[in-house]
Structure 1
């Protein structure tokens, strides 16, 4: 009797279908990354443009070689000066009333215009502030000299006994009262309607006024510590 061997049929193996796209992937997950990348590119582009404009502006300034403008107190017009001694029993020894007009000149030696900002000047006597005057901002063309005016009014400012006695002595015995004018103004070079960083221009003037003649008898000004 012959025995036959039967080969078992092949075992069925199920096919697993793997997704072509990972399960963790989502079309919306890349949106924040894209936005972040676009913002970074835009920021870099704006920074590069700003640096380029700044470099061009600096090159133009170096080519023009801007110089510091000259700002000086040219003239003082005395309109009124009254010194009234108070009674010796009063706490205040002296009162002073003063009205003067300060005439400044601004000289621009540059090839471009200069923009001056709002300025304030203080009138002082022996370190005591009496009053102040202001100048509105103005634009000055290249290679020009501009005259501007500021009025200072002192309305019956009282001095204590020591300063008051000095003021009366200066006015009655010597016929000269020395005041000091202090102030600062900011000047900016303007190129293509763009202002450069501000440059501080200081004014420090000593003026002497005669109470009898109501006129200026002496003036000496300093420009940033230098005589002009």
Structure 2
């Protein structure tokens, strides 16, 4: 019998297949990604450690953010009483029968920001609210800014209140304060976001809270007293 025909294709078990080659490339790519991730993580931690060391070295102090001046540009009070059509109504009766009142107010505030630190401070947008007996009347905002080290800067804000309505007891108190005492006590609250900047890196944001009690004379359209306090920055 003639021998069986031999195949022209010889199989070599030592030659790699295409699947094993792609698996090796995938493993190599994953290894490179892990190395790069570890490298960037190490560099980020190193930069953070340097910033923290510098912050501890300069010993940052809390900035001073204080209300220096308050200008009353306009103040008007409009009462609504149940006996407003009675010409014989006295002032005391008007106060007792007050159902509501609206207040319009425009005040200009000048703050002074002082940075006593060796590094700069980056302030975010600041918001201020004027209140009467715990009732918000109006708000104002100040754009963020950067303050150099060992510097002082003026910050201005204007709060405009357009016919804010007060009801019953609050309205009666407002009319009494204005007509009998010529003194309306308001409260100005504000939150100022601040960050310490070192080597172009910003520290985590913290809040500087401003709390000012002011008294305004409706007849003179002027400020009669102010007292401010603030919760300073701590890092």
When normalised by structure 1's length, the TM-score is 0.85
RMSD: 2.1
Matched, 1:122 2:116: no
Question: What do residues 158-182 of structure 1 show as CA deviations (whole Å, max 9, x unaligned)?
Answer: 1112111100000111110000111
Matched, 1:48 2:42: yes
Kindly state the Cα deviation for residue 197 of structure 1 after the two structures are TM-superposed. 1.3
Q: Which runs of 5+ in 1 are unaligned?
A: 1-16
> Is contact 1:92–1:158 with CA below 8 Å preserved after alignment?
no
Task: Give the Cα separation in 1 of the matches to 2:12 and 2:221.
Answer: 106
Other structure's SS at 1:111 match: coil
Other structure's SS at 2:61 match: coil
User: Could you say which structure has the higher helix fraction?
Assistant: 2
Aligned to 2:230: 223
Question: What do residues 48-107 of structure 1 show as CA deviations (whole Å, max 9, x unaligned)?
Answer: 111111111111111111112111111110111111211326995211111100111111
The aligned length equals 209
Aligned to 1:63: 57
User: Mean alpha-carbon deviation: is it higher for 179-188 or for 192-201?
Assistant: 192-201
Kindly state the Cα deviation for residue 24 of structure 1 after the two structures are TM-superposed. 10
Aligned to 2:73: 79
Task: Give the Cα separation in 1 of the matches to 2:220 and 2:18.
Answer: 97
